[in-house]
């Protein structure tokens, strides 16, 4: 008997990809989340692959007596009752990382857009104006980039910065001296990073300790004319302080993929789900005070959104299932 696996919350292209890459199993696909209305349809299934809108509660598990594997196509797993899974011997797997290079590449897309005045240049040639006045940019080579948070994404930013021959300063509560030596960067405290960097880029999670990490007190320390890039979470920066710093010329420009007022986003892929209240998100961006500023560029929380990153989520999910079936489990959530 082939193992029965049900997938939830998938788009058509994702369904086709799974069908092409997962053989010798019996597959069933649902566009919606797994819930108490449709759970009866997979009563005897061995495994489920879900996203964060499928709440895996005791009541759901009670109706899935054969279930042995839950693989979530997300990094977070707080939508799954792990205690109940443990009691029942159900393995839970996740997708620990999928977009570190993707977000780091977007970070550099933002940096280069500012450093080479790409938006002004393109707007001008679209009007048929090929003059260069006011379009002089600056080199990244030799400039200092300050990376705040050097985890999966920050590390990739450091690797790219090295390729540009930039000087690199890093602030992080955890230090990896081996990586620092390999790339050739120095760990410094946040105030020093702010004082010395020409480009400051944020890659910390939003936690109580990182909320308004850039605020009215320390924003004054920033080297005059530096630029700030935020692809982490809007709440890491106090927007009022940011506006003041831009108005006073402390920062010459900012590039933001995330805004403080955004919906609480747990997983970036949530933004692609039909369930996500996109209307509110759009309003937040459209009406945002920063959008009117010439020296601010905003992308709509799109840093994660590459074809390859989304494929990596599916590839990891397939690997989780294959590993489980071969008794070589990977990405198990403890």
Residues that bind ligand NAD (CB under 6 A): 99-100, 103, 149-154, 171-174, 203-207, 209-210, 231-233, 257-258, 268, 301, 303-304
User: Among residues 71 and 231, whose Cβ is nearest to ligand NAD?
Assistant: 231
User: Among residues 25 and 278, whose Cβ is nearest to ligand NAD?
Assistant: 278
Which residue is nearest to ligand NAD, using beta carbons?
Answer: 151
Do residues 50 and 9 touch, judged by C-beta distance below 8 A? yes
For tokens 């499928």, the residue is 54
| Rounded least distance, CB 107 to ligand NAD, Å | 9
| Rounded least distance, CB 299 to ligand NAD, Å | 8
What contacts 24+ positions apart, CB below 8 Å, involve 51-56?
Answer: 51/8, 51/9, 51/267, 51/269, 51/273, 52/76, 52/79, 52/266, 52/267, 52/270, 53/9, 53/79, 53/273, 53/275, 54/8, 54/9, 54/79, 55/79, 56/80, 56/81, 56/85
| Rounded least distance, CB 105 to ligand NAD, Å | 11
Do residues 99 and 306 touch, judged by C-beta distance below 8 A? yes
| Rounded least distance, CB 247 to ligand NAD, Å | 25
**Measured between alpha carbons, how far is 251 from 253 in angstroms, rounded to an integer?**
5
Helix axes 118-126, 100-115, angle to 10 degrees: 60
Task: For residue 233, indicate whether it is catalytic.
Answer: yes
| Rounded least distance, CB 193 to ligand NAD, Å | 10
| Rounded least distance, CB 47 to ligand NAD, Å | 27
User: Among residues 206 and 319, whose Cβ is nearest to ligand NAD?
Assistant: 206
User: Among residues 137 and 300, whose Cβ is nearest to ligand NAD?
Assistant: 300
| Rounded least distance, CB 139 to ligand NAD, Å | 26
**CA trace torsion 238, 159, 303, 215 (10° rounding):** 0
Picking from 227, 275, 282, the residue whose alpha carbon sits closest to that of residue 249 is 227
Residues 220-240 as b or e (16 or more Cβ within 10 Å = b) = eebbeebbbbbbbbbbbbbbe
Among 79, 155, 301, 312, the one annotated catalytic: 301
Task: For residue 279, indicate whether it is catalytic.
Answer: no
Among 156, 203, 233, 288, the one annotated catalytic: 233
What contacts 24+ positions apart, CB below 8 Å, involve 274-281?
Answer: 275/33, 275/53
Task: For residue 261, indicate whether it is catalytic.
Answer: no
Is 322 exposed, middle or buried, given 0-12, 13-18 or 19+ CB atoms closer than 10 A? middle
Among 14, 100, 262, 267, the one annotated catalytic: 262
User: Among residues 14 and 257, whose Cβ is nearest to ligand NAD?
Assistant: 257
Do residues 6 and 30 touch, judged by C-beta distance below 8 A? yes
Picking from 34, 31, 18, the residue whose alpha carbon sits closest to that of residue 81 is 34
User: Among residues 91 and 305, whose Cβ is nearest to ligand NAD?
Assistant: 305
User: Among residues 67 and 255, whose Cβ is nearest to ligand NAD?
Assistant: 255
**Measured between alpha carbons, how far is 212 from 226 in angstroms, rounded to an integer?**
18
- Residues involved in catalysis: 233, 262, 301
């Amino acid at each position: 008997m082939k193992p029965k696996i049900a997938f939830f919350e998938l788009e058509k292209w994702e369904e086709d990809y799974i069908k092409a890459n997962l053989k010798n199993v019996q597959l069933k696909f649902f566009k919606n989340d797994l819930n108490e209305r449709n759970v009866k349809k997979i009563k005897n299934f061995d495994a489920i692959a879900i996203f964060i809108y499928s709440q895996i509660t005791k009541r759901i598990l009670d109706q899935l007596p054969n279930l042995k594997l839950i693989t979530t196509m997300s990094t977070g797993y707080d939508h799954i009752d792990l205690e109940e899974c443990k009691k029942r011997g159900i393995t839970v797997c996740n997708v620990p990382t999928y977009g570190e290079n993707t977000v780091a590449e977007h970070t550099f897309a933002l940096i280069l857009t500012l450093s080479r005045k790409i938006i002004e240049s393109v707007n001008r040639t679209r009007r048929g104006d090929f003059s260069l006045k006011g379009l002089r940019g600056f080199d990244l080579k030799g400039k200092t980039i300050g990376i705040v948070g050097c985890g999966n994404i920050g590390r990739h930013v450091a690797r790219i910065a090295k390729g540009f021959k930039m000087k690199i300063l890093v602030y992080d509560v955890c230090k990896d001296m081996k990586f620092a030596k390999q790339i050739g960067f120095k760990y410094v405290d946040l105030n020093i990073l702010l004082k010395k960097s020409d480009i400051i880029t944020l890659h910390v999670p939003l936690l109580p300790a990182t909320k308004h990490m850039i605020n009215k007190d320390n924003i004054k320390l920033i080297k005059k004319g530096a630029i700030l890039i935020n692809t982490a979470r809007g709440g890491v920066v106090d927007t009022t302080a940011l506006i003041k710093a831009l108005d006073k010329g402390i920062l010459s420009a900012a590039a933001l993929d995330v805004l403080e007022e955004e919906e609480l986003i747990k997983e970036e892929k949530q933004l692609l789900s039909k369930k996500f209240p996109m209307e509110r998100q759009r309003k937040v961006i459209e009406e945002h005070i920063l959008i009117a500023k010439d020296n601010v560029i905003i992308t709509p929380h799109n840093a994660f959104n590459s074809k390859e990153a989304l494929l990596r989520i599916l590839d990891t999910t397939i690997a989780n299932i294959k590993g489980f079936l071969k008794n070589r489990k990977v990405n198990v959530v403890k």
